Amino acid sequence: MKRRQTMAVGIESTQEAAGRVCPASYSYSPSVFARPPEVVAEVLYVIGGLYGNRFALAEIERMAQSEEPRAQLVFNGDFHWFDAAPDVFSLIDQTVARHTALRGNVETEIASDDDRNGCGCAYPESVPDGDVERSNAILQMLRRIARANGLQGAQLRARLGALPMHLVAQVGETRIGIVHGDARALAGWRFAHDSLHHLRRSQLFAAVFDEAEVDGFASTHTCLPALKAFDIDHAERFVINNGAAGMPNFRNTRYGVITRMATVPVPRGLMAARLYGGDIAGVYVDAMAVHFDAPGWEDEFRQLWPRRSAAHTSYHRRIIDGPDFSIDDALGRAPLRGCEPALA
C-alpha cells in the first residue's frame, strides 16, 4: 500500500491524494455568511446527496406540494452520482435546475478537467483506499457522460461549475447558512455527527456562529445525518446534516432523509415522514424520511451499476440494508464512532 500523504486545506493535491485532498478552491471563511439572504421562505426543504435517484426526486417534489405554503427546494450538492446513463443524468439535471442549487464536490469535479482532486470528497483517513479509488472511478464515468453531448455538454458543465458553494436562507426571522460541507469548506467534515457531538468542540462552533452571523447551518457532505442544538450565549443555535436524500441513512431502512425548516409545524399529511427535530432558534427544524420507490430504485441501480462495478461494490449493501447507523447516533445519544466508509 502506498504511504498516504497528509494534506491541509489549500495545499496542492497530487495523484496519490486524489479523493482525499480538500483543494484551496473549496475553502471560504465563515464570515461569508454575514450577508443578506438569497432565499426567503416559510417552508424550506434542503436536499443533499440525492445521488441521481430519480425516484427520491419525484417523492420530494410530491412532499413539497403537500405543504401549505408549498415548500421551496434547495439542493445543496451531490445531486448527481449514480445517474450513469445520459437520459437519467439529463432528467436529474433538468429537474434540479428548476429549483435553487449549490454545487457539491461531485458537480464541481464533473465541471472540472483536473484529475488531481479525484472525486473531491476530501475523505478522512478512516475511509479505506479502495472506497476512495472507486469514488474517483464513479466521478470519471459521470464526467464522460457530461462531456459526451458536445456543445450542450460543455454548457452543462459550465453551469454546474458556476453554481455557488453556499447560500444564506431566511425562514421567518431565522438566518440559516446552507452548505454542502461545513462552514469553512465545500468538502469539509466538521458537520459530521462525530464532530458535532464531540463535547470539547462546542467553543469552536460558538466562534463559527459568531463570525457567520447565522442561527443555524444545514449541510450534507458526510452522507450520514446529524442534528445538534447549541446554547451559545443564552441563544439557541443548530447544525442539521441530512445525510443522503437518495440513499438509506439508518440500518435496516430503505428511505432517504431531507431537512425541513419552517415557520409552521410538519403538516398532518406528512407527520409519518418526520423522524426527529424540534423548535430551535425560532424555526421548526426536522429530519424527514423520503419514502421513495425502493424496489424501483434498486432495480435501476443494478442496471446502471452491475455487480463488480465501482458503485455496486461500494454502495449496493447500503442501498439494500442501510448503513450501520441509528437515529441515536445522529442525535448524539450513542457512543461516538468514526464516519461510515463509502461516502460521496
Q: What was the pLDDT predicted at 283? A: 98
Paired with 170 in beta bridges are 40, 175
Query: From first to last of its 344 residues, what are the pLDDT tens digits of the chain?
Result: 232 232 233 333 344 588 887 889 999 999 999 999 999 999 999 999 999 999 999 999 999 999 999 999 999 999 999 999 999 999 999 999 999 999 999 999 999 998 888 898 988 888 889 999 999 999 999 999 999 877 788 999 999 999 999 999 999 999 999 999 999 999 999 999 999 998 777 788 999 999 999 999 999 999 999 999 999 988 999 999 999 999 999 999 999 999 999 999 999 999 999 999 999 999 999 999 999 999 999 999 999 999 999 999 999 999 999 999 999 999 999 886 654 444 45
The Cα–Cα gap between 136 and 24 comes to: 19
Q: Which distant-in-sequence residues (6+ apart) come within 8 Å of 209 by Cβ?
A: 215, 230, 232, 237
Q: What was the pLDDT predicted at 153? A: 87
- Domains defined for the chain, CATH in brackets: 27-104+164-330 (3.60.21.10)
Find the angle CA(4)-CA(338)-CA(33) to the nearest 5 degrees.
90
- Residue 162 near residue 225 (C-beta atoms within 8 A): no
C-alpha cell at 290: 423520503
